[in-house]
Structure formats: C-alpha cells, structure tokens
Structure 1
Amino acid sequence: METTAVVADQNHSNRDCVAVAVLTHGERNGQLDARDHEYNVSELWEPFTARLCPTLAGKPKLFFIQACRGTGTDAGVTVSDLTADAPDNDRAEELTYPVPSYADIIVSHSTFEGLYSFRNPTNGSWYVETLCSQLEVHGRSKDLVSLLTDVNRIVGQRYRSENKSLPNLHGKVQAPCFTSSLTRSLCFGHNGHGHPQ
C-alpha cells in the first residue's frame, strides 16, 4: 500500500509510536478493498517492520482495521462465567538487545477471520464506537492490550444485530480480535505520547 510505505519511509526518531486506522470493506484471507484495487492487510504493517523502518525499531506500531473478513456470521453461545488468567511478571531487560523485525506490532481487527463485521446505521461500527469510547475513558489508565481485551468483551457481550428482513443477519454477535507482538506494556501518557513500560 503506497500511503503506508510513504509514512514508513519518514524519519520517526522523535516519535514514540505509529498508529494506523483503516475503515473499509474486506474479504477472506486478509484481503481489504481500496477504491481502485484489493490489497492484503499485511501491506499495511510490513513497511513498518524494524528491518524496513529502523527509526521505529523497538517502538509500538498499531493497526486498527474495521472491515469484514468474510460473509460468515456468529449466533454465539451463552456462558455462565468468564475466567481470566493472571498476567506474567515482567523480566528485567538488558540495556542493549536485538529487536526482531516483527516485534512491537499490534494488529486489531473488528471481527474474526471469515466473519462479517457489523455496523449500526446511526452509530456506525460496533468496533470503532467501542474502541473510541474505551480509548477516551481508559486510554491513560490501562495498557493497550488490556483495553483491546475490554473492547473484545464489550462488543461480544453488548451488541446483537437487528435485521429482521434478512434472518441470516439477525440476532448475530461479533468478536473483535487482535494479534500482538509487543515486547512491553503500552500505556498512553498524560502528554498524549505512548510510553512502553
């Protein structure tokens, strides 16, 4: 994707992180739609890998993608209790260390692979609405992985599709998901800059 390549070619030495948001239509197997062609979601983040964008090496690269990932739907199931694992303790880090090319990247999708991504005609995308509200309320008090986990839970538990004219799209749920290779927790500081911890 030409736009992300242009941004990746810039000098990011004085920046703490980069964030890219894409709202578009999508297909299965990571295909996204642009106005004039189809492209793979990996084209968004590959130009920002440490090897290709050394001024962002060791810094978070965040990608938020609102798009369908197929035409499947999920009716969901009912559970009575949810459990959470305890977080791992951080280990002390060396002053200098190698950085894997694919480290420090988060790719957050509005829905799971193969599934439809819903939006309300008035309020818009369930995922974008929830992500924005969680960033506004908790963006400075929670790390990003915890915040995205909350987005997953809120969208999955609070939203149900309403489309009685199309029964295959009525009463469905949605599960946002993300992949993270962050090497440290990411919290947004009071001055608006991201601070890995």
Structure 2
Amino acid sequence: MQPVHHQVDGDEYDFTYPERGMAVIINNKTFGPESGMRDRKGSDLDASNLKNMFQRLGFKVLRCDNLTKDEMVRTLLKVASNKQYDHTKADCFACAILSHGAYQELEEPPSAVKSRQDIIYGVDGRSVTTRHLVSIFNDECCPELEGKPRLFFIQACRGTRTDAGAHLAVMGTGAQPTTQGARSDKDASDAVPNSYNQPGQKDMSHDKKPKLDEEEVDRGQSGYTAKAPVFSISPCPIYKDFLLMYAIPPGFFAWRNKDTGAWMMQCLASVLQEKDIHDTPLMTLLTRVSHLMTQFESQTINPEDDKKKAVPCVMSMLTKAVYFRDKAVPH
C-alpha cells in the first residue's frame, strides 16, 4: 500500500511521494598516471559517511568510484533519463561530487573580459564544467523532477587562494587578538597539483594565485582611474528548485584531511544525521554546517598554508522550504 499523503503547507515542498529519491555519490579518489594528479586520500571515508547520511534521510544511494570525465557525464545522464530510477515517485534528487577541481578562463568576445568557470576532473585528468553536470537535471532534461528540489554538494577546489581568517581583539586585562576557530590535523587540498616529485610542495594547480574580480588601475593627474575588470566570475548557473553547496567560495581551494576526510563533508554528514533535523528546514541545517566548519583550522608544516580557514558557499534557487520529514509507514 502506498503511503498516505498529508496536507503540505504552501511554503514547503511536497515530500509525501512514495520515495525520498535517488542520491548519487561520485567519489574520485584514485587518479590515473595519465592525469598527473595526486590521489585524494580520505575521500573514501567521505563517500561512506555520505552514503550513511543519505540512507538515513531515506534516499536510494548510487555510489560510483573513480569515474573518468565521460563516465561522470554518462552516469548522470543515465540517472536523469528516468530509466534507471523513476523520479516521478520521488520527493527530490541529490548528488554529491568529490574530486579535484579548478577553473578555466574563457574570453568572451567582443570584450577582452575573461570569465571563470568551475571545472571538475575525472580520474583520467580530463575536466567537465560544473554547469554542464548540473544542467543534466534541469526541467527540460529531466521533466520528472519538475517542481522538486535538486540538491548538489560539491567537494572540489575552485582556485588556489587560501583564507587566513580574521583576528578579533578581545576586551579584558591582558587579552590579545586571537584567530577564531579550533585547530585540525594535517590537511591536504582538492586542488590540482603542479608536481609530485618535490616533497612538501603544496597540492595546488598554479604557482601564482590568480587575481579574480580585480580592476586594473592607472594613476592619472586627477588620481586613480579604474579600467574594465580583467576577470568576471561566472558561477555555475542554477535553475528554479536547485541548490548547490560548494566546499569553498570561488577562487579558493578546498581543505581535506587524509585521515578524517574533507572539512565540508565531515560537517555535512554530522549535521544531517542529527536527531532533530526532521522538523528543521534544510537551509537552517546548512547554516549549521557552515558554523561547524568555521571551527576548523589548518595545521601544516608550510607556513603559507598554516592556520587557514574555510567556509562553504551555498547557491540556492529553492522556492520553498525543504524538510526531510519521516516517511509514512505503509500499513
């Protein structure tokens, strides 16, 4: 017998369908020698924690390990086709992608402005834009999900910058400015490395960190004159009823611990398995994730990477609140 549908508030997505939905986990940990990329230690733990999290939320989970660029695209196309899984019976759809990432610069004529687009790498070292992977589940490509939430969680670098956090002066006798946040163990990043032959080299894709959204400035007789922006950030376009949560803002690289997993994935799995979440809207839960992640701080032997902070970046075009209500039990 199908679960009985109950009246749903107009400000809340209808989660009274027979099934919660499909959750796809793409876990790229082991990269081939042709890629020139370092293995992502700790990613298997993230994938296992995410699988447990999604299952506790009622999802049917499809975990795929070590996919090439083409395999990532084919896998998501197959899921969106409604042949492998019937989305008409589902409340929503979720996808978590764990891989190396970076960005590509595209010059957009007729201007000389370059746009920056996030890319995700397959284990073969070939990349696909985040916007392409997300677009596979829009209303046109997957009409069975129309009007339903589509949730994406991306653990991949979006650049090479690091965040040193902020120092706060605390009032009181003998108080000294301190850096907010608790310390963590040794960390690695999800950026694409330059080389693997030099011990202690940062796991980054560029020697020089790119300057994004900055303006060239000339000093004239009347002072400074700003020219056109050199870079224009082009975040992945999302659609109505979509949410994307990135491990890091544009231009930064994401932190990962080889023993405990990526910072955002640790916090996400922890928060979404708490007992009280069934009556808490998803956006509130993701704010908890961000708050929890601010307590992390890197500890590395390289001073340039030591004592760094990170916070997730959420892009949402959800039109209603998402509640992971308990499913009615069939009689």
1:33 counterpart residue number? 121
Q: Paired residues, what number?
A: 170
| Matches for 1:37-186 after TM superposition, within 5 Å | 37-78=126-167, 102-137=239-274, 138-156=276-294, 158-163=295-300, 165-186=301-322
Q: Which runs of 5+ in 1 are unaligned?
A: 81-100, 193-197
Q: For the residues of structure 1 that align with 2:77 and 2:135, how far apart are their CA atoms?
A: 9
Report the structure number with the largest CA radius of gyration. Answer: 2
Q: 2:96 aligns with which of 21, 32, 39?
A: 21
TM-score by length of 2: 0.49
Q: What per-residue deviation string (whole Å, max 9, x for no partner) do you get for residues 150-195 of structure 1?
A: 1112212x000000x2111100000101100001000101129xxx
Following superposition, the deviation at residue 51 of structure 1 comes to: 1.7
In structure 2, give the amino acid aligned to 1:50. Answer: D
- Considering fraction of residues, name the structure with more helix: 1
In structure 2, give the amino acid aligned to 1:179. Answer: M
Following superposition, the deviation at residue 79 of structure 1 comes to: 5.3
In structure 2, give the amino acid aligned to 1:68. Answer: C
Which of 128-137 and 22-31 deviates more?
22-31
Q: For the residues of structure 2 that align with 1:64 and 1:18, how far apart are their CA atoms?
A: 12
Q: For the residues of structure 2 that align with 1:185 and 1:78, how far apart are their CA atoms?
A: 35
Query: RMSD over aligned Cα, in angstroms?
Result: 1.7
Q: 2:80 aligns with which of 8, 11, 19?
A: 8
Q: What per-residue deviation string (whole Å, max 9, x for no partner) do you get for residues 75-122 of structure 1?
A: 011458xxxxxxxxxxxxxxxxxxxx9210001101111111111222
In structure 2, give the amino acid aligned to 1:18. Answer: F
Distance 1:14-1:173 versus aligned 2 partners, 3 A rule: same
Percentage of pairs with the same residue: 34
Q: For the residues of structure 2 that align with 1:154 and 1:121, how far apart are their CA atoms?
A: 19
- Considering fraction of residues, name the structure with more strand: 2
TM-score by length of 1: 0.81
Instruction: Return structure 1 stretches of 4+ with deviation > 2 angstroms.
Output: none
